[in-house]
Structure 1
Amino acid sequence: MRRVYGLGVYELRPLETADLAANLPAGSLVWQELDIPAAWSVDQYLLALQIDQMNMWMWGNADPKKRGPKPRPLPRPGQGAPSTRDDGKPADGHERHVRRIEVQPMTIAEFQRWRAQRFSDERVEKSRPLAGT
């Protein structure tokens, strides 16, 4: 919110925050984290397309006996898991965890019970030092 709108999340009412979050521009960090097509802006898609076309042009103009397999296009956001190696790990060596958010209709009472829960981030819990040490 601060990067795009110059506003802090806690400076707004919840519905205002939700409205602004839903309308973040393409290329925002939220869309990148969710790995959806809006993770890239138009210029990033055009650059990837240009790279793909250049790779195809170079492959097409190479000697057919020496050129190897047809080049694959660059992976785009929202296409799912990247290509893997023979050992099942991603080709670039980085593990990717994709979280999909789905609509879950609920009543106001169900929503209030859900909001009353205590949430914690297991990544934060692991990094906290033990008390008394």
Structure 2
Amino acid sequence: MLAGALDNHEGALRASLQAEYGIRLLRNGRTEPERTPFELGDLVAGLPHGCALWREAGGPIALTDEAHLLREAIFRLELIDWHNAGSKGAAPKRIELPKPAHEVRAAEAKTATKAQRHAARDARRASQK
């Protein structure tokens, strides 16, 4: 978990450690005050839901417990309203959870590849005219 956070979300990890524990993460992966990798890993695992690291990583852990409760309350109020209105139309849906960062990156890479293929195809067609 620590290595993945350092590789993919260093800035958010730095912000979360500073905000939660008052620990500065230095560029070389060391900390002030000095911590062992095991200690640092435990601290990262103990970061609260909704901190900068988890928001950037995405998924259910990106939301605080309060945000999860609010999401559920909104859904239930919409469901009650829909039911009281005669249950006509599509039933309300819960607000979607943030997608995990690796899924977002994969989708963006797929879109970029598709765009490059289209641009190459358009360039070939333009050169054939």
TM-score (norm 1): 0.52
Unaligned residue ranges in structure 1 (runs of 5+): 82-95, 100-133
2:35 paired with 1:13 = yes
Q: Which has the higher contact order (CA 8 A, sep 6+)?
A: 2
1:32-69 alpha-carbon deviations (Å, 9 max, x no partner): 111132222221111110000001011111145xx421
- Structure 1: 4+ residue segments shifted above 4 A: none
Selected match of 1:97 from 101, 104, 113:
104
Which residue number corresponds to residue 97 of structure 2? 76
Count of aligned pairs: 82
Distance 1:37 1:98, change over 3 A: farther
1:2 aligns with 2:25: no
Tell me the distance in 1 between the aligned counterparts of 2:105 and 2:49.
18
Distance 1:98 1:28, change over 3 A: farther
Would you say the 8 A contact 1:34–1:98 is kept in 2? no
CA-based RMSD of the aligned residues comes to 2.5
Which residue number corresponds to residue 114 of structure 2? none
In the alignment, is residue 33 of structure 1 matched against residue 56 of structure 2? yes
* Unpaired runs of at least 5, structure 2: 1-16, 27-31, 107-129
Point out the structure with the larger helix share.
2
Partner of 1:60: 83
Identical-pair percentage:
30
The two structures have a TM-score, normalised by structure 2, of 0.53
Instruction: Give the CA deviation at 1:70.
Output: 1.1
Paired position in structure 1 for 2:5: none
- Which AA in structure 2 matches 1:70? A
Q: 2 CA distance for matches of 1:97 and 1:77?
A: 10
Residue identity matched to 1:72: K
